[in-house]
Amino acid sequence: MVYEKNQLLTIDITDMTADGEGIGKTDGYPFFVKDTIIGDQVQIRITRVKKNYAYGRLEKVVTPSPFRIETKCPFHRQCGGCQIQAMSYQRQLQFKESKVKNNLIRIGGFTPKLLDKVMEPIVGMEEPFYYRNKALYPIGADKEGNPVAGFYAGRTHSIIANTDCSLGVKENKEILEKILSYMKENHVTAYDEAAGRGLVRHVLIRKGFQSGEIMVCLVINFRAGKNTDFLPNQEKLIDSLSNVKGMTSISVSINRERTNVVMGKEIHTIWGKDRIKDTIYVRSVENDFAAARRGITFSISPLSFYQVNPIQTEKLYSLALSYAGITGKEIVWDLYCGIGTISLFLASKAKQVYGVEIVPQAIEDAKRNAAQNGIENVEFFVGSAEEVFPEKYEKDGIRADVVVVDPPRKGCDRTCLDTVLKIGPDKIVYVSCDSATLARDLRILCEDGYEIERVRAVDMFPMTVHVETICCLSRIK
């Protein structure tokens, strides 16, 4: 059979890629189709034909999969942020668990038998919507020139208006609408990317789930003039926004660059405080872990890194602490520590914790958070994990009983893994946002004296294809 572009075809979706695209085959020849769910029978239009596979666009669902559900968001196909919103949440969890397992088998070389023994059930959410504590909306203008907030359509830079993303908090809509009315009434322009003109580029909203405190930051293309205010009739905006329940901080971020980088480095608070606070409690998600219920309070600026799903973060960090099996005598290293979230929790039980992170501002936040929480048995270093960790070990002779790593998607640097192997901690806790690089790194560690004790996937980002994994390795005696 020869397939051609634009041809219509009906196929059964029998599998899914790690990115959430459905796969259907005719005579063994696979088609990749976005927006389809395993179990669907669909009509597709062929969009691209390659030698060994082709792409199709979903035209019509002929027979829906038993896992297909009504989506909450009418824009979910255009937006692309929630790749699997049309799949039941239970099935999403299963999809993520098998993604982790398959990577560990395929890339890590671990046997299904071993994984059946060490893998624990994925940690899902009770309410898999409205979980994000941070929203970043681009601002633009519609055809009539009215300001709109929304999301970029597909891979383009044109904005589709939608102030009601179902992953964010309910206050986002109210805040965005207030900003848009203020802009309209006061003739405040939206930034036009192509022309590099106009004022308001993005709106950042963050909410502390425990504290209820809200921060709004408008990213503006501001040029200093005779006006002392950053925005025209600034008081009107402040009057309107400061009435929102929980509003704690209103600021502007100045970004005059013609780039894709969203936030400008210069921040000015125009109302309220510079930072909001939030607390994360380490709770028990498993029966053998009831201790350490301590809460740690973080202060967050518009530029601070902070986990976006606080409910799952608590579960993930509880597991990290539990997997690390700390009794109080241990020296612990937290590599890729960010603002020190995990380090500070570890410090509540360990003897001494050392955190390493490459971004200097994150370390400033980490130190501030340690001080504000009165935590003294933690020390932070700026630098790359692969340089700082070996250096402190070799020059200063600092030991490590437990090493925690939480690297970015690309995983750990080889030097860093080699140092861990050389130091030989009793336990390694690996927190990963990409199970493919996790599998690659675990293979290296397990070829050289470690074995997997426990692994668990945690769903930090329901409706998307992303999945976090936590793994505990122990040194073979």
Q: Output 352 or 432, the one with its CB closest to ligand SAH.
A: 432
Residues in the chain: 477
Indicate which single residue of 305, 381, 391, 423 sits in contact with ligand SAH (rule: CB under 6 A). 305
Q: For residue 301, state whether it binds ligand SAH (rule: CB under 6 A).
A: no
Give the CA count within 13 Å in the CB-facing half-sphere of 229. 10
Q: For residue 406, state whether it binds ligand SAH (rule: CB under 6 A).
A: yes
CB of 355 to ligand SAH, least distance (A): 9
Helix axes 385-396, 414-423, angle to 10 degrees: 30
Residues 137/163, Cβ–Cβ less than 8 Å: yes
- Across the beta sheet with 159-161, the strand order is 159-161, 147-152, 134-141, 200-207, 214-220, 247-254, 266-272
Element (H, E) at 205: strand 200-207
Task: Single out the residue of 408, 406, 450 nearest to residue 425, CA to CA.
Answer: 450
Distance CA 362, CA 178 (A): 32
Point out which span in 87-95, 239-247, 403-411, 454-462 binds ligand SAH (CB under 6 A): 403-411
Contacts of 226 (CB under 8 A, 6+ apart): none
Distance CA 212, CA 246 (A): 6
Residue nearest to ligand SAH (CB): 338
Look up 433 and say whether it is catalytic: yes
Contacts of 308 (CB under 8 A, 6+ apart): 132, 133, 134, 460
Q: Output 29 or 381, the one with its CB closest to ligand SAH.
A: 381
| Total interface residues for ligand SAH by CB under 6 A | 20
Site mask for ligand SAH (CB under 6 A), range 312-351, x = bound: ------------------------xxxx-xx---------
CB of 29 to ligand SAH, least distance (A): 40
Q: Output 221 or 419, the one with its CB closest to ligand SAH.
A: 419
Distance CA 151, CA 456 (A): 33
Site mask for ligand SAH (CB under 6 A), range 349-378, x = bound: -------xxxx--x----------------
Q: For residue 385, state whether it binds ligand SAH (rule: CB under 6 A).
A: yes
Indicate which single residue of 10, 210, 211, 384 sits in contact with ligand SAH (rule: CB under 6 A). 384
Point out which span in 22-30, 185-193, 400-408, 464-472 binds ligand SAH (CB under 6 A): 400-408
Q: Output 39 or 208, the one with its CB closest to ligand SAH.
A: 208
Task: Single out the residue of 222, 210, 207, 130 nearest to residue 175, CA to CA.
Answer: 207
Q: Output 267 or 433, the one with its CB closest to ligand SAH.
A: 433
Catalytic annotation, pick one of 82, 416, 433, 472: 433
Q: Measured between alpha carbons, how far apart are the two ends of the chain, in Å?
A: 58
CB of 301 to ligand SAH, least distance (A): 15
Distance CA 281, CA 291 (A): 12
Task: Single out the residue of 396, 280, 410, 385 nearest to residue 333, CA to CA.
Answer: 385
Q: For residue 149, state whether it binds ligand SAH (rule: CB under 6 A).
A: no
Point out which span in 124-132, 185-193, 407-415, 453-461 binds ligand SAH (CB under 6 A): 407-415
The 3-class SS string of 209-245 reads CCCCCEEEEEEECCCCCCCCCCCCCHHHHHHHHCCCC
CB of 206 to ligand SAH, least distance (A): 15
Beta strands in 52-115 (DSSP E): 54-63
Q: Output 32 or 380, the one with its CB closest to ligand SAH.
A: 380
Residues 79/151, Cβ–Cβ less than 8 Å: yes
CB of 53 to ligand SAH, least distance (A): 34
CB of 393 to ligand SAH, least distance (A): 15
Q: Output 164 or 418, the one with its CB closest to ligand SAH.
A: 418
Name the residues annotated as catalytic.
Answer: 433
Binding interface with ligand SAH (CB under 6 A)? 305, 307, 336-339, 341-342, 356-359, 362, 384-386, 406-408, 413
